[in-house]
Amino acid sequence: MSLIVQKFGGTSVGSVERIKAVADIVIETRKQGHQVVAVLSAMAGETDRLVELAGQAAKEPDSRQLDVLLATGEQVTIALLSMVLQEKKYQAVSYTGGQVHILTDNVHNKARIVDIEAMRVKKDLAARKVVVIAGFQGIDEQGNITTLGRGGTDTTAVAMAVALNADECRIYTDVDGVFTADPRIVSEAKRMDRISYEEMLEMASSGSKVLQTRAVEFANKYKVPLRVLSSFKEGPGTLITEEDESMEQALISGIAHNRDEAKLTLISVPDKPGIAAAILSPIANADINVDMIVQNVGVDNTTDFTFTVHRNDFNKALALLKKTARDLGAKEVTGDDRIVKISVVGVGMRSHAGIATKMFVALADEGINIQMISTSEIKISVVIAEKYLELGVRTLHSTFGLEGENDVVDDAAG
Ligand code: ADP
Ligand code: ASP
Ligand code: MG
């Protein structure tokens, strides 16, 4: 008997009606002869609502208490789905992350899974139960509730699939696969039948929130077949798999964008060894991740140093940087949290020159100024002003000839 892990995201479990539709998908999979583990998100908007409540309670809510709060969202949906399944005469059991020993490190709000003790789940499956697990949450060695970062239910699902040696991990969401760009921005975006782990990793880490980056990392590491599909309508979805020759022929697979970025600049800082370390160490010590970095060759033995962080960390990073600027004798600190990052991703880039130039020319033709650039072997990213986000993504999508037909965003998804 094969085992399928099915993950249902927020819109897919956004109401009891939707949860009933999810139960039908689970039951259909059971009828096809598979064992099923369902991993659920909180109802759409619920985690945001909880974050907002925390913000009303405290200016900077303590990260441990925040996790206790945020983990409640998923507890609601797992209980409801199990009830619906039981009502339809299927044995089902709901578990929080802690109850199935999803052990994480102790970094609250962005914990990483270190181990899963799968015994309990295996016993339930053997007893013909559908196991329904709360996504996004775990427990640290001290028994504290932790969460895995926004979108973390994807990662719970893939990690569960690895721990149970599942045959496939299916990520059900509100679009029917992975597209050449976010279909909510580019209506001509095309669903891909397949995409390589590596490209999906670049898309996800560049902001394509259809999958959490960590989930793709896990799937790649353990070669879990991963499929993204819609819970609203049937279809083959997109298979995330190992790269093959046909994929290599596509020059660019997709355009990703990220609205979560903010930019900080230290102006006229003395140019000497150790400057980058001195600027970025306090940022790293505050658990703030830095994305892009640009250091200019300066005049008068000084340099300008620019980097980007998550928008949520902008104020904290700015305060730290102001202190660093005083310590180092820099002239000025500036910040901008109205920027976005757009990336073109494709394994074909490895063997083709001129992609970057084509990208820069296309943006220039639209009068879009590029503020920062970074590249990897299969990705080119630029930072631009937020107001050009949509124009930028659409321009690049058509520049690289990615258009197709689209009837994909389900109206019910909102
Ligand atoms: P869920 O709640 O099911 O986890 P998410 O909102 O996290 O759903 O992810 C699905 C959304 O990802 C889609 O509604 C879509 O707007 C967005 N998205 C961004 N980039 C892409 C892409 N390249 N392909 C498909 N969806 C994308
Ligand atoms: N509910 C969490 C979030 O909104 C986790 C998830 O949906 O994946 O980020
Ligand atoms: Mg998601």
Q: Is 135 exposed, middle or buried (0-12, 13-18, 19+ CB in 10 A)?
A: buried
Report the share of the chain in percent with pLDDT over 70: 96
Provide residues with CB under 6 Å of ligand 1: 9-12, 41, 151, 173-175, 178-179, 181-184, 208-210, 254
* CB of 411 closer than 8 Å to CB of 183: no
Sign of CA pseudo-dihedral 267, 272, 277, 278: negative
- CATH code, residues 3-174: 3.40.1160.10
Q: Which atom of ligand 1 is nearest to the CA of 212?
A: 7
Q: Rounding to the nearest 10 degrees, give the CA dihedral for residues 259, 65, 133, 176.
A: -10
- In this prediction the pTM is 0.93
Please tell me the least confidently modeled range out of 32-41, 66-75, 290-299.
290-299
Tens-digit pLDDT profile for residues 149-187: 999 999 999 999 999 999 999 999 999 999 999 999 999
Q: Which atom of ligand 2 is nearest to the CA of 41?
A: 7
Q: Where are the domains of the chain?
A: 3-174, 255-413
CA 219 – ligand 1 centroid, Å: 18
Please tell me the least confidently modeled range out of 232-246, 275-289, 397-411.
397-411
Distance separating alpha carbons of residues 312 and 317, to the nearest angstrom: 10
Q: Identify the nearest ligand to the CA of 148 by its number.
A: 2
**Does residue 406 carry a pLDDT above 60?**
no
3-state SS assignment for residue 18? helix
Tens-digit pLDDT profile for residues 347-371: 888 888 899 999 999 999 999 999 9
**Does residue 407 carry a pLDDT above 70?**
no
CA 135 – ligand 2 centroid, Å: 8
CA 172 – ligand 3 centroid, Å: 9
Residue nearest to atom 17 of ligand 1 (CA): 210
Q: Which atom of ligand 2 is nearest to the CA of 151?
A: 8
Task: Give pLDDT, residue 296.
Answer: 80
Residue 163 Cα to chain centre, angstroms: 21
3-state SS assignment for residue 101? coil
**Does residue 409 carry a pLDDT above 70?**
no
Identify the CA nearest to 65 among candidates 53, 77, 76, 54.
54
How far are the Cα atoms of 8, 307, 337, 342 from residue 363, in angstroms, in the given order?
Answer: 37, 21, 21, 11
Task: Give pLDDT, residue 244.
Answer: 77
What's the whole-number mean pLDDT along residues 62-68? Answer: 97
* CB of 185 closer than 8 Å to CB of 23: no
pLDDT band of 247, cuts 50, 70, 90: low
Task: Give pLDDT, residue 1.
Answer: 82
What's the whole-number mean pLDDT along residues 79-87? Answer: 98
Provide residues with CB under 6 Å of ligand 2: 9-10, 41-42, 47, 73, 135-136, 150-153
H-type alpha helices, 263-313: 275-285
| Helix 46-57 × helix 63-70 angle, to 10° | 140
CA 146 – ligand 3 centroid, Å: 18
Domain 255-413 has CATH 3.30.2130.10: yes
Distance separating alpha carbons of residues 259 and 261, to the nearest angstrom: 6
**Does residue 410 carry a pLDDT above 50?**
no
pLDDT band of 411, cuts 50, 70, 90: very low
Task: Give pLDDT, residue 83.
Answer: 98
Q: Which atom of ligand 1 is nearest to the CA of 180?
A: 23
